Amino acid sequence: MGSEEILHRVFGYPAFRGMQHDIIEHVAGGGNALVLMPTGGGKSLCYQIPALMRDGVAVVVSPLIALMQDQVAALRELGVPAAYLNSTLTAQEAATVESQVRRGELKLLYVAPERLLTERCLALLHQARLGLIAIDEAHCVSQWGHDFRPEYIGLGRLADEFPQVPRIALTATADDLTRQEIVTRLMLENARPFVTSFDRPNIRYNIVEKQDPNAQLLRFIRDGGHDGESGIVYCTARNRTEEVAAFLQEEGFNARAYHAGLTSAERTEVQNAFQREDGMIVVATVAFGMGIDKPDVRFVAHVDLPKSIEGYYQETGRAGRDGLPAEVWMAYGLADVVQQRRFIEKSDASEEFKRVQNGKLDAMLALCEATDCRRVRLLGYFGEMYRGACGNCDNCLSPPQTIDGTIMVQKFLSAVYRCSKASGHAFGAGHIIDVLRGQLTDKVSANGHQLLPVFGIGADVSQTRWRSVVRQLSIAGYIHIDVERFQTISLTGAARPILKGEQTVRLRETVEREPGPRTRRRN
Ligand code: ADP
Ligand code: ZN
């Protein structure tokens, strides 16, 4: 059977998505491949269909036992002979699977990496006819990533053991460094890369400032038409998940809390209920999500600011896997920022690591404060150019109010200039804002900055508002924040025309904005 026929007959789908067809033909034809595709993009079919097209058994390396079991169960339901080998099997069960492999009765065999690399398993595969090797979640080989699994390093050996067998590595982690690590460590130098767009066009993005998060969340769910739909609400703290779940229950929703403080039986129970039932809301910490494959999650809400855009994108990516319209919403506040900065500062991590974490938080905040298309910014963060505005995010649908901020910005830029000129080195945002607001701190008096003409000229503006100005100026490229050197600020060439009064600047109207989500789904 050809790939299209398998897609229709076995999987029951009408058409391939994105690059699936190209990838499948390449791999089925014996080529190696490196597939970068976002969560929900449809990676599984990229090895499952070639597995059915080629002779012999396809070995799928997967790090997550639960996911392995789900996939095998789903394949069997479709009539595909599939099995797994992992630590949950008894010796007898494993022996049964092994003899099935030897007899050539299986088309797909899922194996945990540490098991695959045992001499016993390698010998088994040499006895069998091996058609394909698929390495899922290939970014686990990256030592710098957050999912590093040492067992993955050994998988490079498969290239030597089975030189004739095509190999496909798959991941949803996009950045260049990870990609290079996958190629070298898994010996995929000759693999053809397939880089799919990370865009999720059916997801609508909304980001608002946090005022009364419970009430705002409720409005998002009700006004957005999500009443009775399945959704996930992410919170930072365990006790908040309990509070928000209780609040939603009082409002008549089928809501459950999920966090690492529950027993594993309780967690499994919530997960299964969510997977099975319609219209359930799970209020969770980030512990929830790995291994959840529910296609019809219609909304994902963040009532606290995520730590990084990577995390945010992964969490929001759980919405709308079926390709139908889905909506995501986030409320962020200054308290979140302060708490996260403190958390980073207090950790035992190296200075370098802290700088990286602060940089990620800055990027997340830049996304929150952006006045232009969220999708353009999100994809831009992953190195992807999205042309035009998407028409499916809050900023596109109802452009935020802006005000003429020229005078405020001139004050700020002059303060940056004057302070660094007076002391011969650059300062961070905190100090510049103290000077503008006329705060006589130790650092101000030690530098004599209370004598500068800019001292106190911005006292009428709150510190929060100044912080927001700083972020907007950084995003717009008028200032440079040096994350390598204590987040010190310097002016860029673009600042000159503003200081000289030749150019005006518009700022996002932040704090004073009306509470609540600004967009509604237009059905
Ligand atoms: P990933 O592993 O990339 O996160 P999956 O392989 O789990 O994504 O696929 C995500 C969802 O999309 C699944 O529910 C899957 O059945 C569905 N899917 C994948 N390819 C297609 C297709 N061509 N047509 C329709 N649905 C698809
Ligand atoms: Zn947009």
The answer to whether residue 349 scores a pLDDT higher than 90 is no
Q: Model confidence over 211-241: pLDDT tens digits?
A: 899 999 999 999 999 999 999 999 999 999 9
Whether the CB-CB separation of 300 and 226 falls below 8 Å is answered with no
pLDDT band at 78 (very low <50, low <70, confident <90, very high): very high
CA of 374 to the centre of ligand 2 (A): 5
**Rounded to whole angstroms, how far apart are CA atoms 69 and 320?**
23
pTM: 0.68
**% of the chain exceeding 90 in pLDDT:** 69
pLDDT score recorded for residue 18: 86
CA of 114 to the centre of ligand 2 (A): 43
CA of 137 to the centre of ligand 1 (A): 15
The answer to whether residue 3 scores a pLDDT higher than 90 is yes
Q: Model confidence over 373-408: pLDDT tens digits?
A: 999 999 888 777 888 899 999 999 999 888 899 999
For residue 141, with 0-12 CB atoms within 10 Å meaning exposed, 13-18 middle and 19 or more buried, which class applies? buried
Whether the CB-CB separation of 139 and 182 falls below 8 Å is answered with yes
Structure tokens at 499: 């200081």
Q: Which residues contact 268 (CB under 8 A, 6 or more apart)?
A: none
Q: Model confidence over 315-341: pLDDT tens digits?
A: 999 999 888 999 999 999 867 887 888
Is the CB–ligand 1 distance for residue 19 below 6 Å? no
Q: Which residues contact 332 (CB under 8 A, 6 or more apart)?
A: 207, 208, 209, 210, 302, 304, 305, 365, 368
**Rounded to whole angstroms, how far apart are CA atoms 109 and 313?**
30
Q: How many CB atoms lie within 10 A of CB 354?
A: 16
Structure tokens at 515: 């509470």
pLDDT band at 97 (very low <50, low <70, confident <90, very high): very high
pLDDT band at 146 (very low <50, low <70, confident <90, very high): low
The answer to whether residue 483 scores a pLDDT higher than 80 is no
Nearest CA to ligand 1 atom 17: 42
Q: Model confidence over 487-496: pLDDT tens digits?
A: 789 999 999 9
Q: How many CB atoms lie within 10 A of CB 39?
A: 18
Q: Nearest to residue 146, comparing CAs of 349, 380, 381, 363?
A: 349
Is the CB–ligand 1 distance for residue 43 below 6 Å? yes
Q: Which ligand is nearest to the CA of 388?
A: 2
Q: Concatenated DSSP letters for 271-298?
A: HHHHHHSSSEEEEE-TTS-TT---TT--
Q: Model confidence over 164-201: pLDDT tens digits?
A: 999 999 998 767 778 888 999 999 999 999 988 889 99
Report which ligand 1 atom has the smallest distance to the Cα of 20.
23
Report which ligand 1 atom has the smallest distance to the Cα of 17.
23
Report which ligand 1 atom has the smallest distance to the Cα of 39.
4
Nearest CA to ligand 1 atom 10: 40
> What CA–CA distances, in Å, run from 36 to 39, 263, 362, 434?
10, 35, 26, 46
DSSP helix, strand, coil percent of the chain (3-state; round to 5): 45, 15, 40
User: By mean pLDDT, which of 63-72, 78-87, 375-384, 476-485 is the weakest?
Assistant: 476-485
Best of 10, 43, 321, 324 to mutate for ligand 1, by most ligand atoms within 8 A of CB? 321
The answer to whether residue 312 scores a pLDDT higher than 50 is yes
CA of 351 to the centre of ligand 1 (A): 41
Nearest CA to ligand 1 atom 16: 42
CA of 136 to the centre of ligand 1 (A): 14
The answer to whether residue 65 scores a pLDDT higher than 70 is yes
> What CA–CA distances, in Å, run from 372 to 197, 239, 434?
20, 34, 30
Nearest CA to ligand 1 atom 20: 42
What value does the mean pLDDT of the chain take? 90
203 or 144: which carries more pLDDT confidence? 203
Q: Nearest to residue 106, comparing CAs of 59, 44, 175?
A: 59
The answer to whether residue 429 scores a pLDDT higher than 50 is yes
Is the CB–ligand 1 distance for residue 324 below 6 Å? no
Average pLDDT for residues 96-103, to the nearest whole number?
96
CA of 193 to the centre of ligand 1 (A): 20
Cα dihedral sign, 472-473-474-478 = positive
10 or 176: which carries more pLDDT confidence? 10
Q: Which residues contact 215 (CB under 8 A, 6 or more apart)?
A: 515, 516
Strand, coil or helix: what is 353?
A: helix
pLDDT score recorded for residue 522: 38
Crossing angle (nearest 10°) for helices 463-476 and 406-423: 90
pLDDT band at 477 (very low <50, low <70, confident <90, very high): confident
Crossing angle (nearest 10°) for helices 20-28 and 44-53: 40
Report which ligand 1 atom has the smallest distance to the Cα of 15.
23
pLDDT score recorded for residue 287: 83
Is the CB–ligand 1 distance for residue 39 below 6 Å? yes
Structure tokens at 324: 């139908």
Best of 293, 313, 314, 318 to mutate for ligand 1, by most ligand atoms within 8 A of CB? 293
Q: Which residues contact 454 (CB under 8 A, 6 or more apart)?
A: 411, 414, 415, 418, 419, 435, 436
pLDDT score recorded for residue 401: 84
Nearest CA to ligand 1 atom 21: 42
Structure tokens at 422: 């007076």
71 or 41: which carries more pLDDT confidence? 71
Report which ligand 1 atom has the smallest distance to the Cα of 293.
7
402 or 517: which carries more pLDDT confidence? 402
Is the CB–ligand 1 distance for residue 318 below 6 Å? no
Which phi and psi (to 5°) does residue 258 adopt?
Answer: -145, 120
Average pLDDT for residues 130-138, to the nearest whole number?
96
| Residue whose tokens read 């309990």 | 242
pLDDT score recorded for residue 516: 37
Q: Nearest to residue 379, comparing CAs of 390, 391, 365, 395?
A: 390
CA of 515 to the centre of ligand 2 (A): 21
Q: How many CB atoms lie within 10 A of CB 234?
A: 26
Whether the CB-CB separation of 398 and 514 falls below 8 Å is answered with no
Q: Which residues contact 236 (CB under 8 A, 6 or more apart)?
A: 285, 304, 305, 336, 339
Average pLDDT for residues 63-76, to the nearest whole number?
90
Whether the CB-CB separation of 99 and 148 falls below 8 Å is answered with no
Q: Which amino acid is at 350?
A: S
**Rounded to whole angstroms, how far apart are CA atoms 172 and 314?**
9
* Straight-line distance from the first to the last Cα atom of the chain, in angstroms, rounded to the nearest whole number: 41
Is the CB–ligand 1 distance for residue 16 below 6 Å? yes
Q: Model confidence over 245-267: pLDDT tens digits?
A: 999 999 999 999 999 999 999 99
The answer to whether residue 520 scores a pLDDT higher than 70 is no
